[in-house]
Amino acid sequence: MKKVLFALVIVMFAAGSAFAHSPLCDCFDNGDGTVTCEGGFSDGSSASGVKMHVKDSAGKVLIEGKMNEDSEYTFNKPSVDYMVQFDAGEGHSVEVNGKDIVE
């Protein structure tokens, strides 16, 4: 009986782990005054519709939008120090410092 319970616990743990996914986001400077970010999840899920925020160094939101159907978001590069936040909800957020975004 103990072996059956142990096997059941292992199967339940493995099934729960299969549904876990981590957010991914990478941004690059297009060289034309715009920045494009690409997002997704470690399990291959689309990021279409995920909220995007571009904030200044004080945390004030400068630009808001959402990932498009291709899991991309393009915005005009701010003239001040900024960061980009991929916001898919609690525990599923990624922040990219504007200084790390290069062509």
- Could you list the residue range(s) of the whole structural domain that residue 48 is in? 22-100
**53 domain-assigned:** yes
Residue 19's pLDDT is 53
**81 domain-assigned:** yes
**10 domain-assigned:** no
Q: What is the CATH number of the domain that holds 29?
A: 2.60.40
Distances (CA, A) of 22 to 1, 2, 17, 66, 88: 36, 34, 12, 18, 10
Residue 1's pLDDT is 45
**92 domain-assigned:** yes
Contact present, 50 and 38 (Cβ < 8 Å): no
Q: What total of structural domains would you count in the chain?
A: 1
Contacts of 91 (CB under 8 A, 6+ apart): none
Residue 24's pLDDT is 95
Supply the pTM of this predicted model.
0.78
**14 domain-assigned:** no
